Amino acid sequence: MSIKIGLLGFGTVASGIPFLLHENSSKILDASRDQLEIAKVLVKDEEEKERLLAAGNNFNFVTNIDDILQDESIAIVVELMGRIEPARTFITKALEAGKHVVSANKDLIATHGKDLIALAQDKGLAFYYEAAVAGGIPILRTLANSLTSDKVTRILGVLNGTSNFMMTKMVDEGWTYEAALAEAQALGYAESDPTNDVEGIDAAYKAVILSQFGFGMAIDFEQVSHQGISSITPDDVAVAQQLGYVIKLVGSVEETASGIFAEVSPTFLPKSHPLASVNDVMNAVFVESIGIGESMYYGPGAGQKPTATSVVADIIRIARRIKDGNVGKPFNEFSRETKIADPADVTSNYYFAINTSDEKGKMLRLAEIFNSEDISFEQVLQQKANGTTARVVIITHELSKTQLANVTEKLTAVSDFELLNTFKVLGE
Amino acid sequence: MSIKIGLLGFGTVASGIPFLLHENSSKILDASRDQLEIAKVLVKDEEEKERLLAAGNNFNFVTNIDDILQDESIAIVVELMGRIEPARTFITKALEAGKHVVSANKDLIATHGKDLIALAQDKGLAFYYEAAVAGGIPILRTLANSLTSDKVTRILGVLNGTSNFMMTKMVDEGWTYEAALAEAQALGYAESDPTNDVEGIDAAYKAVILSQFGFGMAIDFEQVSHQGISSITPDDVAVAQQLGYVIKLVGSVEETASGIFAEVSPTFLPKSHPLASVNDVMNAVFVESIGIGESMYYGPGAGQKPTATSVVADIIRIARRIKDGNVGKPFNEFSRETKIADPADVTSNYYFAINTSDEKGKMLRLAEIFNSEDISFEQVLQQKANGTTARVVIITHELSKTQLANVTEKLTAVSDFELLNTFKVLGE
Check CB contact of B148 with chain A, cutoff 8 Å.
yes
Residues of B in contact with A311 (CB under 8 A): 149
CB contact under 8 A, A313 and B149: yes
CB contact under 8 A, A293 and B312: no
B191 labeled part of a ligand binding site: yes
Which of A21, A133, A137, A148 should we substitute to test contact with B (largest number of B Cβ atoms within 10 Å)?
A148
Residues B64-74 have a mean pLDDT of 98
The alpha-carbon radius of gyration of chain B (Å, integer) is: 24
Whether B195 shows a pLDDT value over 90: the answer reads yes
DSSP B56-100: T--S-EES-THHHHT-TTEEEEEE---SSTTHHHHHHHHHHTT-E
CB contact under 8 A, A27 and B305: no
Classify residue A104: in a domain, yes or no.
Answer: yes
Looking at residue B328, its pLDDT comes to: 85
Whether A328 shows a pLDDT value over 90: the answer reads no
Tell me how far apart the alpha carbons of residues B401 and B394 are, in angstroms, rounded to a whole number. Answer: 17
Tell me how far apart the alpha carbons of residues B95 and B93 are, in angstroms, rounded to a whole number. Answer: 5
Classify residue A190: in a domain, yes or no.
Answer: yes
Looking at residue B325, its pLDDT comes to: 87
Assign B358 a pLDDT band (cuts: 50, 70, 90). Answer: confident
Name the residue range of residue A398's domain. 344-425
Classify residue B333: in a domain, yes or no.
Answer: no
Check CB contact of B277 with chain A, cutoff 8 Å.
yes
CB contact under 8 A, A24 and B309: no
Is the distance from CB of A235 to CB of A245 less than 8 angstroms? Answer: no
Classify residue B339: in a domain, yes or no.
Answer: no
CB contact under 8 A, A149 and B309: yes
Residue B413: which residues within 8 A CB-CB, separation 6 or more? Answer: none
Question: What is residue A60's DSSP assignment?
Answer: -
Residues A349-363 have a mean pLDDT of 90
* Domain shared by B107 and B155, yes or no: no
* Domain shared by A97 and A184, yes or no: no
Residues of A in contact with B272 (CB under 8 A): 279
* Domain shared by B287 and B185, yes or no: yes
- B270 CB-side CA count, 13 A: 7
- Does residue A306 have a cis peptide bond before it, meaning omega lies within 30 degrees of 0? no
The CA-atom distances, in angstroms, between A370 and each of A239, A391, A396, A410, B144 are 21, 16, 9, 9, 53
Residues of B in contact with A303 (CB under 8 A): 293
DSSP A244-278: TEEEEEEEEEEEETTEEEEEEEEEEEETTSGGGG-
Tell me how far apart the alpha carbons of residues A304 and A309 are, in angstroms, rounded to a whole number. Answer: 9
Residue A313: which residues within 8 A CB-CB, separation 6 or more? Answer: A130, A138, A141, B145, B146, B147, B148, B149, B150
Q: A376: domain CATH number?
A: 3.30.70.260
Whether A329 shows a pLDDT value over 90: the answer reads no
Distance of CA B284 to the CA centre of its chain: 10
Q: What is the ipTM of this complex?
A: 0.96
Residues of B in contact with A333 (CB under 8 A): 30-31
Classify residue B335: in a domain, yes or no.
Answer: no
Give the sign of the dihedral formed by CA B99, CA B102, CA B108, CA B114. Answer: positive
Whether A140 shows a pLDDT value over 90: the answer reads yes
Which of A137, A295, A331 should we substitute to test contact with B (largest number of B Cβ atoms within 10 Å)?
A295
Whether A279 shows a pLDDT value over 90: the answer reads yes
Classify residue B183: in a domain, yes or no.
Answer: yes
CB contact under 8 A, A291 and B299: no
- The predicted-structure confidence for A147-161, as pLDDT tens digits, reads as follows 999 999 999 999 999
Check CB contact of B173 with chain A, cutoff 8 Å.
no
* Domain shared by A116 and A8, yes or no: yes
Strand extents, DSSP E, B229-281: 245-256, 259-270
Tell me how far apart the alpha carbons of residues A259 and A340 are, in angstroms, rounded to a whole number. Answer: 5
Looking at residue A276, its pLDDT comes to: 96
B424 labeled part of a ligand binding site: no
Residue A123, amino acid: K
CB contact under 8 A, A295 and B300: yes
Whether B262 shows a pLDDT value over 90: the answer reads yes
Assign A326 a pLDDT band (cuts: 50, 70, 90). Answer: confident
CB contact under 8 A, A27 and B216: yes
The nearest CA of chain A is from the CA of B298 a distance in Å of: 5
Tell me how far apart the alpha carbons of residues B81 and B91 are, in angstroms, rounded to a whole number. Answer: 11
Residue B412: count of CB within 10 angstroms of its CB: 11
- The predicted-structure confidence for B22-37, as pLDDT tens digits, reads as follows 999 999 999 998 999 9
Check CB contact of B141 with chain A, cutoff 8 Å.
yes
Looking at residue B416, its pLDDT comes to: 87
Among B206, B248, B362, B424, the one annotated catalytic: B206
Looking at residue B362, its pLDDT comes to: 87
* Domain shared by A92 and A165, yes or no: no
Among A40, A49, A206, A424, the one annotated catalytic: A206
Looking at residue B357, its pLDDT comes to: 85
Whether A7 shows a pLDDT value over 90: the answer reads yes
Which of A146, A272, A277, A294 should we substitute to test contact with B (largest number of B Cβ atoms within 10 Å)?
A146
Of B216, B293, B335, the CB nearest to A305: B293
Percent of chain B topping pLDDT 90? 91
Residues B152-169 have a mean pLDDT of 97
The nearest CA of chain B is from the CA of A338 a distance in Å of: 15
* Domain shared by B10 and B128, yes or no: yes
Classify residue B336: in a domain, yes or no.
Answer: no
Tell me how far apart the alpha carbons of residues A331 and B303 are, in angstroms, rounded to a whole number. Answer: 30
Q: Which of A330, A285, A298 has its CA nearest to residue A145?
A: A330
Tell me how far apart the alpha carbons of residues A342 and A255 are, in angstroms, rounded to a whole number. Answer: 11
Assign B136 a pLDDT band (cuts: 50, 70, 90). Answer: very high
Looking at residue B119, its pLDDT comes to: 98
By C-alpha distance, the chain A residue nearest B303 is A292
Q: Which of A404, A408, A402 has its CA nearest to residue A420?
A: A408
- The predicted-structure confidence for B236-248, as pLDDT tens digits, reads as follows 999 999 999 999 9
Of A148, A308, A334, the CB nearest to B291: A308
Looking at residue B109, its pLDDT comes to: 97
Whether A383 shows a pLDDT value over 90: the answer reads no
Residues of A in contact with B303 (CB under 8 A): 293
- The predicted-structure confidence for B73-100, as pLDDT tens digits, reads as follows 999 999 999 999 999 999 999 999 999 9
CB contact under 8 A, B151 and A24: yes
CB contact under 8 A, B145 and A295: no
* Paired residues of A340 in beta bridges: A260
Classify residue A366: in a domain, yes or no.
Answer: yes
Interface of A with B in 22-81 (CB under 8 A): 23-24, 27-28, 30-31
Tell me how far apart the alpha carbons of residues A197 and A189 are, in angstroms, rounded to a whole number. Answer: 10
Domain boundary among B264, B289, B324: B324
The CA-atom distances, in angstroms, between B201 and each of B91, B112, B125, B135, B221 are 23, 15, 30, 16, 9
* Domain shared by A83 and A122, yes or no: yes
Whether A175 shows a pLDDT value over 90: the answer reads yes
* Paired residues of A263 in beta bridges: A225, A252
Looking at residue A415, its pLDDT comes to: 87
Residue B89: which residues within 8 A CB-CB, separation 6 or more? Answer: none
Domain boundary among B268, B300, B332: B300
Check CB contact of B212 with chain A, cutoff 8 Å.
no
Interface of B with A in 296-315 (CB under 8 A): 296-300, 303, 305-306, 308-313, 315
CB contact under 8 A, B138 and A146: yes
Which of B78, B130, B148, B304 should we substitute to test contact with A (largest number of A Cβ atoms within 10 Å)?
B148
DSSP A112-155: HHHHHHHHHHHHT--EE-GGGTTTTS-HHHHHHHTGGGS-EEEE
* Domain shared by A83 and A159, yes or no: no
CB contact under 8 A, B295 and A136: yes
Whether A384 shows a pLDDT value over 80: the answer reads no
Whether A95 shows a pLDDT value over 80: the answer reads yes
Q: A248: domain CATH number?
A: 3.30.360.10
- The predicted-structure confidence for B277-307, as pLDDT tens digits, reads as follows 999 999 999 999 999 999 999 999 999 999 9
Looking at residue A389, its pLDDT comes to: 86
Residues of A in contact with B140 (CB under 8 A): none
Q: A7: domain CATH number?
A: 3.40.50.720
Average pLDDT, chain A: 95
Type and span of the H or E element at A37: strand A36-42
Whether B51 shows a pLDDT value over 80: the answer reads yes
CB contact under 8 A, B146 and A310: yes
* Domain shared by B402 and B293, yes or no: no
The nearest CA of chain A is from the CA of B389 a distance in Å of: 39
* Domain shared by A109 and A235, yes or no: no
Residues of B in contact with A20 (CB under 8 A): 149-150, 290-291
Has A248 been annotated as catalytic?
A: no
Residue B388: count of CB within 10 angstroms of its CB: 9
Which of B149, B275, B280, B298 should we substitute to test contact with A (largest number of A Cβ atoms within 10 Å)?
B149
Looking at residue A1, its pLDDT comes to: 76
Binding residues of A, as ranges, are: 106, 191
Looking at residue B67, its pLDDT comes to: 98
If you count residue pairs, one on A and one on B, with CB atoms under 8 Å apart, how many are there?
A: 186
Tell me how far apart the alpha carbons of residues B187 and B347 are, in angstroms, rounded to a whole number. Answer: 38
* Domain shared by A114 and A242, yes or no: no
Percent of chain B topping pLDDT 70? 100
Assign B184 a pLDDT band (cuts: 50, 70, 90). Answer: very high
Whether A397 shows a pLDDT value over 90: the answer reads yes
Is the distance from CB of A278 to CB of B286 less than 8 angstroms? Answer: no
Tally the domains of chain B: 3
Looking at residue B388, its pLDDT comes to: 81
The helix, strand and coil proportions of chain B, stated in percent and rounded to the nearest 5, come to 40, 25, 30
Binding residues of A for L-homoserine, as ranges, are: 191
Assign B359 a pLDDT band (cuts: 50, 70, 90). Answer: confident
- The predicted-structure confidence for A206-234, as pLDDT tens digits, reads as follows 999 999 999 999 999 999 999 999 999 99
* Domain shared by A59 and A169, yes or no: no
Residues A73-81 have a mean pLDDT of 97
- The predicted-structure confidence for A262-271, as pLDDT tens digits, reads as follows 999 999 999 9
